[in-house]
Amino acid sequence: MKEHEILTPEIVEKQTIRREEMRADILRPLQQKAGILANLWVAFLAAVLLIGCFAYYLQLKHGLIVTGLRDYATWGIYISNFVFFVAISLVGALISSVLRLTNFTWYRPITRIAEIIAVAGVIWAGLIIIIDMGRPDRILNLFLHPRIQSPILWDVIVVTTYLTTSVLLLYLPLLPGIAICRDTLTNKPKWQRWMYKFLALGWTGTEDQWKIMKKSITMLCVVIIPLAISIHTVTSWLFATTLRPGWDSTNFGPYFVAGAFLAGTACVIIGMFIFRKVYHLEKYLTEVHFSNMGKLLVFLCCVYAYFNINEYFIPYYKMRGPEARLLTDLFSGKFAGLYWSAQILGMALPAVLLLFKPMRKPLPVTLIAIPVVVFAWVKRYLIVTPILVHPYLPIQNVPESWINYFPSWVEVAIVSASLAGVLLIITIFSRLFPIISIWETLENEGIEVEDLDKLKNEKV
Amino acid sequence: MTNNLKYKWLGKLLIAVVFSLPISLFAGAKQAKVEKEAEPATAVMKITFSETDGVKVCKAIIEAGQKPVEGVEVKFYAKRFFSMLPLIANGKAVTTDEKGEAFINFPKGLPGDCNGTIVVTAKVEDNEKYGSFESKDSVKWGTIISVSDQEEEWSKRSLSATGDRAPIYLLSAAGVIIMVVWGTLFYVIFSLVRIKKAGKIKK
């Protein structure tokens, strides 16, 4: 209990009522039976996932020949997707840690949305990199014969570490919420009640439990910031340490990190809007949150634009041999449509539009965030594929299919399945656990749940 | 009448054959002469090595019909594992003088095999008169690289070495980072056990 605060019985009663009110609002979606639309949504995602599983079975059976990958374009949409998932997973660190450690408070109701996007993103990032391997069993060689000089090993280490940290950062602040589910949702199936009981770790809200939890969260917040920067920097080094026009850049690390924060923030905005509408959380995910996220998006667009100028303008100024061919293809060749759409619709236009206050209302800001996410994926495709078909040594006397890359239906099905997988994790999570952190949101309103729990335990 | 016409046709054919035969024979002879003229003259190249006052000189001598050939461009190379290393910067050529000699100062410190032997090749490429030809010879002017030296070189720790020969600075930096981060994570995981216990005590 904070020393300067005097909790009179009236204040305690008022705060307890407010807490119960918030609990009821946030637990309502969990108590209600899922509607037909919600079930159809899950069925649709499961169907896409199953089709992807079948496509992967074909890939395992026949090898990578069923994909559009050939000798030049060895990385296609699988790796583009991997980079995209790593990118969106960074938002967990941005929202949970950077804002937490810099003493911002407005972000608190959206932390859990950011964290579950991060966890879902990094799980599928790890899976998609294995899918990209023609012989997934050989991943064991990475651990049996490790070579610390290889960026591939760094990537595996950092993805595993980031996944563990993100899961812990999602789980720890969720403990009081799971305990509420355990105590409140008694009409749920047995397995669900058992799960709540197991995951709640006997949470009763004692002073020690709150102390250990808050200390652990602070430790994780400190660790996750360099880790998040590392995960995307190492991902960028997978490219930058390879001698290719377009990848041979010292700018790649910060360029990737800036792009990741932008993509992740846009994902959170879309997530906020959907949960607000579907779970009727207008009281907690307010217009202020959308406005602030819109401002954050403008800032991140500007930072990303700065790195884009460094990344493309300087090679364009020099127009050195093989890079000139690549840039010509990007600026005015066969990739020009995608390139300029990504730069304008995915970065420049959103930044300009969001400068106007009416555009930062929930619906407009979400509509603006959608192309940011879509073109963030396209941008990753443009970072991976055009460069592979523009090597330093000219391509000569090879089949036509090696020169141009176009993903096969197997690749499209698997990538769609991975996207469905991310959405499925988020959907299932939001049906089982509170999507808004109750104690953090109450702290934002000046109510210390820790104090209320202490009083309750003393009474008991 | 018909017979007269037959003979006229035969007569014309005979005249055509009589005239065309020497012409075609003459043309064939001329072509053969041209082909004979296009064949390059034969030249012989010899490589010699000499050392005066510590300066090592590699010389190529070109002769045609035992006469020195002047003005022929010669390029010098040393054989490496996968390709030929030009012994003059940018692979420039040296022109033979009136004695038919083209020479270069042999570079110092060029690695040879286990005996220090280097195979030197002198090449003439697309000469107008003599075409392309080359000559090879070996000399023990290379730095001796023994197998054990090579093995020692390969066993050095570097970024390009095998996994068990990673640089110490990389191993220690990676080790410290991994230990600090995973140490924190294990501490947090252990905190979960403490949280469970703290709840039980209260009960």
Give a three-class secondary structure readout of chain B: CHHHHHHHHHHHHHHHHHHHHHHHHHHHHHHHHHHHHHCCCCCEEEEEEEEECCEEEEEEEEEECCEECCCCEEEEEEECCCCEEECCHHHCCEECCCCCEEEEECCCCCECCCCCCEEEEEEEEEECCCEEEEEEEEECCCECCCHHHHHHHHCCCCCCCCHHHCCHHHHHHHHHHHHHHHHHHHHHHHHHHHHHHHHHHHC
Q: Which secondary structure element, helix H or strand E, spans residue A198, and what is its range?
A: helix A190-199
Q: Does residue A21 sit within a domain?
A: yes
Shortest distance, CA B85 to any CA of chain A (angstroms): 21
B167 contacts on A by Cβ (under 8 Å):
149
Instruction: Give the CATH number for residue B60.
Output: 2.60.40.10
Q: What is the pLDDT of residue A5?
A: 60
- Cross-chain CB nearest to B162 (options A147, A154, A161): A147
Domain that holds residue B78: 44-139
Q: Categorize the per-residue pLDDT at A420 as very low, low, confident or very high, splitting at 50, 70 and 90.
A: very high
Q: Does residue A1 sit within a domain?
A: no
Write the burial class of residue A123 (CB in 10 Å: 0-12 exposed, 13-18 middle, 19+ buried).
Answer: buried
Shortest distance, CA B16 to any CA of chain A (angstroms): 52
Residue identified by tokens 């056990």 is: B193
Q: What is the pLDDT of residue B82?
A: 79
Q: Categorize the per-residue pLDDT at A276 as very low, low, confident or very high, splitting at 50, 70 and 90.
A: very high
Q: Are residues B54 and B135 in the same domain?
A: yes
Q: Which secondary structure element, helix H or strand E, spans residue A84, and what is its range?
A: helix A77-93
Q: What is the pLDDT of residue A198?
A: 95
Q: Does residue A257 sit within a domain?
A: yes
For A:208-247, CB contacts with B below 8 A are: 208-209, 212-213, 215-216, 219-220, 223, 227
Query: ipTM exceeding 0.95?
Result: no
B174 contacts on A by Cβ (under 8 Å):
148, 154
Q: Does residue B8 sit within a domain?
A: no
Q: Chain A residue with minimal CA distance to B188?
A: A216
Q: What is the pLDDT of residue A8?
A: 78
Q: What is the pLDDT of residue A20?
A: 86
Q: What is the pLDDT of residue B1?
A: 46
Q: Do A206 and B188 touch (CB under 8 A)?
A: no
- Cross-chain CB nearest to B163 (options A148, A209, A227): A148
Q: Categorize the per-residue pLDDT at A362 as very low, low, confident or very high, splitting at 50, 70 and 90.
A: very high
Q: Do B188 and A219 touch (CB under 8 A)?
A: yes
Q: Does residue A280 sit within a domain?
A: yes
- Rounded Cα distance between B108 and A453, Å, is 83
Q: What is the pLDDT of residue A58?
A: 96
Q: Categorize the per-residue pLDDT at B185 as very low, low, confident or very high, splitting at 50, 70 and 90.
A: very high
Instruction: Give the CATH number for residue A370.
Output: 1.20.1630.10
A148 contacts on B by Cβ (under 8 Å):
163, 166, 170-171, 174
- Rounded Cα distance between B117 and B142, Å, is 6
Q: Do B188 and A208 touch (CB under 8 A)?
A: no
B187 contacts on A by Cβ (under 8 Å):
216, 219
Confidence check: pLDDT of A392 > 90: no
> How many C-beta atoms lie closer than 10 Å to residue A357's C-beta?
9
Closest CA to B124 of B41, B65, B35: B41
Shortest distance, CA B197 to any CA of chain A (angstroms): 8
Q: Do A147 and B163 touch (CB under 8 A)?
A: yes
Q: Does residue B16 sit within a domain?
A: no
Q: Chain A residue with minimal CA distance to B162?
A: A147
> CA geometry: angle at A339 spanning A326 and A121, to 5°?
110
Q: Do A201 and B174 touch (CB under 8 A)?
A: no
State pLDDT tens for residues A159-171: 999 999 999 999 9
Q: Are residues B174 and B132 in the same domain?
A: no
SS3 call for A28: helix
State pLDDT tens for residues A75-94: 999 999 999 999 999 887 77
Q: Does residue B39 sit within a domain?
A: no
Domain that holds residue A392: 9-459
**Pair of tokens at residue A374:** 């879509």
Q: Does residue B111 sit within a domain?
A: yes
Q: Categorize the per-residue pLDDT at A445 as very low, low, confident or very high, splitting at 50, 70 and 90.
A: confident
The number of folded domains in chain A is: 1
State pLDDT tens for residues A192-219: 999 999 999 999 888 899 999 999 999 9
Q: What is the pLDDT of residue A87?
A: 93
Q: Categorize the per-residue pLDDT at B25 as very low, low, confident or very high, splitting at 50, 70 and 90.
A: low
State pLDDT tens for residues B44-74: 999 999 998 889 999 999 999 889 999 999 9
Q: Are residues B128 and B190 in the same domain?
A: no
Q: What is the pLDDT of residue B29?
A: 53
A219 contacts on B by Cβ (under 8 Å):
184, 187-188
A234 contacts on B by Cβ (under 8 Å):
none
Select the highest-mean-pLDDT range: A223-232, B17-26, B86-95. A223-232
* Residues, chain A: 460
- Rounded Cα distance between A77 and B55, Å, is 60
